[in-house]
A = this chain, B = another copy of it.
Amino acid sequence: MTMIEAIQNAHDLAMARDDRVVVFGEDVGFFGGVFRCTAGLQKKYGKSRCFDTPISELGIVGAAIGMAAYGLRPCVEIQFADYMYPAYDQIVSEAARLRYRSAGEFTCPIVIRMPMGGGIFGAQTHSQSPEALFTHVTGLKTVVPSTPADAKGLLLAAIADPDPVIFLEPKRVYNGPFDGHHDRPVTSWRTHAMGEVPDGYFETPLGVASIVQPGDALTILTYGTMVHVALAAVQETGIAAEVIDLRTLLPLDRETVMESVRKTGRCLVLHEATLTSGYGAELAAQVQADCFYHLEAPVARVAGWDTPYPHAQEWDYFPGPARVARQMRALMEA
């Protein structure tokens, strides 16, 4: 099953089991979303549980907060993460702090889904990875799946969560794993081992990372599309790296991360977002603090360059396996 089908399926199961779950956003109703993640839901659950909205991300999130305060569990879609900014005030100032400021009297169990990341020639406004703008905001949980099964389990857990969850979907791996080799034929999840998705309702707990490739030479901390890039780089370098898919960025699964780095003594942080003040900075800061006496080399970061995401130069920008491999070798030599 593709990640899109897995996300659609998660919506379907959540709506079937809890009639407080409502789904809305731009083009999500009749059409089922520009990426089809909500296909068929309006037909099945009716227009008042799944509907199109005006083009106002603020309105989508603000209305969702009000509905959550009423007692519903909205799961809304922002068409691209690049378009979450108009809603940022409602997310940061309202959703994230409502429980706190009302001492638990009003709460905000909403999920805000948004496709993130590049690799589709979407240029600067269809390629962004704004996760660090959420991890800095206390009161939010931030989730990034890398496989269809995780997308389903994590989304179901997010919808069931009592607090606001930002659910970032790496659109480049919606249809199949992408390891950064843009010149090679694309494989579909349908024909890929990692494409297996369990039937029925299940939750993949938030705050738990997964070790997708064990190893003891060095630790790679990553998430989303970059998990697959990391796996390719490991294979191509032959370096026995341990690849950790964080899955939830906040709260972070610190134990799994630190245990691995203490074991390997080397750490590479990998993400597609721009380097400066990216989430990799927080990971590097925590790793060097917790594992200082185990580190053989400084924590290295491979990330998007500090430029807007360009169109023609997409593959010069995208941190592909070659860049990752180069950094891995450098780390091993350090």
Contacts and interface: CB of A to CB of B under 8 A. Distances in A.
A315 to B, nearest CB: 18
A125 interface: yes
Interface in A270-291: 273-274, 276-282, 284-285, 288-290
A139 interface: yes
A125 B288 contact: no
Interface string A92-103: 110001001100
A282 B132 CA distance: 11
A214 interface: no
Nearest to A290: B298
B138 A274 contact: yes
B276 A301 contact: no
Contact of A285 (B93, B280, B295): B280
B101 A135 contact: no
A88 interface: yes
B282 A279 contact: no
Nearest to A88: B88
Interface string A315-327: 0000000000000
Given A89-B88, A93-B85, A97-B308, A282 B288 contact: no
Contacts of A278: 136
A282 B277 contact: yes
Nearest 8 interchain pairs by C-beta: A85-B89, A136-B277, A284-B285, A292-B298, A281-B281, A288-B288, A281-B282, A281-B285
15 contacts: A88-B88, A100-B308, A101-B308, A132-B132, A136-B273, A138-B276, A138-B307, A250-B276, A277-B277, A277-B281, A285-B285, A285-B299, A285-B301, A289-B300, A292-B298
